[in-house]
Homo-oligomer: A and B are copies of this chain.
Amino acid sequence: MSMIPRKDLLDIASLTNEEIEFVLANAVPFKDLFKRSVKKVPTLKGQTVLTLFYEPSTRTRSSFEVAANRLSADVTHFDIESSSVVKGESVLDTVETLESMRVDYIVVRHKQSGIPGFIAKNTRASVINAGDGWHAHPTQALLDAFTLREKFKDLRGARALIVGDIQHSRVARSTSLIFRRLGMHVAYLAPGSIMPRETPPEIPRFGNWDDAFAWKPDVIYLLRVQSERMDEPFFPSASEYHKNYGLTDARVEVLKERGLWLMHPGPVNRGVEITDQGMNYEKSLINQQVENGIAVRMSVLYWLKPGAIES
């Protein structure tokens, strides 16, 4: 059982089961460190982790920064908002600059799918995709899986209902994939206009909560509504979305009765995806997702090997 050293984490699809298992298993001792008040380990001492965010994201960036600090790495921000990208400077030129600076890890977010993979091909640094367009957000998926594994003895057969803008969500894509790789059943609930045209036949698609609840989910995974999408014609208004697809207080009651787990990648739009009362639901795992994000990202940084040859 020797894994091939892996340089990059680009998506869930390219991971072997063994690799998923490795990352999830090693996140456990990293999480335990904090319980034992060990705040910092010297694992990545002297290594440079660079964040390259073409889209701003305080939460994800901070989560990686704290994870890297706890491994004793140095963190540098090289963030380039889309609006200020220097005309004529390609992503490739930026990557060659970073490659020349010999950074060890590049954590990248970009609105265009595939950019992290393109970067990975052009650097010896380990590239971690922190979200690219509609494509993938693999560390979110890994932390989601880790969080559920703390609650289920065996994930096989567990049923997750993913709710919201499936079509445009990299979270939906990556998290669905890892849930299914771990033996779970996945279903989608979304307005027809933002339900993908083609989905795997094993994934049931629902248009309303009654049908979705009848599928008997164990976990409700709400996607974040992107407010900038609210203006688009195929998207209902915030209040209409809430009424039809949000977790209203009445629906929270169903969760309570059945004891279902609740997840959301954050930040929540209160009153849209979920009500205030829903945020206080005792089986909500939202804060545990954030907490586990640190340990899982530590595990990913620990696992990847800068300079490894991709097979």
Chain A residues packing against B (C-beta within 8 Å): 34, 38-40, 45-48, 50, 58-59, 62-63, 65-66, 69-70, 74, 76, 78-80, 86-90, 93-94, 96-97, 99-104, 227, 266-272, 279, 286-291, 293-294
Contacts and interface: CB of A to CB of B under 8 A. Distances in A.
Nearest to A35: B102
Nearest to A56: B84
B290 A100 contact: yes
As for how many copies of this chain the complex holds, the number is: 3
A47 to B, nearest CB: 6
Contacts of A45: 39-40
Contacts of A38: 46
Nearest to A44: B39
Given A58-B80, A78-B58, A227-B87, A267 B66 contact: no
Contact of A59 (B40, B46, B47, B97): B97
Contacts of A101: 62-63, 66, 290-291, 293-294
Nearest first, the 6 closest Cβ-Cβ pairs linking A and B are: A39-B46, A40-B46, A100-B290, A88-B269, A100-B291, A69-B74
Contacts of A50: 62
5 contacts: A58-B78, A62-B76, A97-B266, A102-B291, A102-B294
A130 to B, nearest CB: 16
Contact of A76 (B47, B66, B99): B66
Given A99-B287, A267-B93, A66 B87 contact: no
Contacts of A87: 227, 269
A72 to B, nearest CB: 9
B40 A267 contact: no
Contact of A66 (B89, B103, B268): B103
Contacts of A65: 76
A76 B86 contact: no
A239 to B, nearest CB: 12
A301 to B, nearest CB: 15
Given A48-B69, A66-B101, A103-B66, A90 B287 contact: no
Contacts of A88: 227, 268-272
Nearest to A65: B76
Contact of A97 (B100, B227, B290): B290
A38 B47 CA distance: 10
Nearest to A295: B102
A79 B79 CA distance: 15
A206 to B, nearest CB: 25
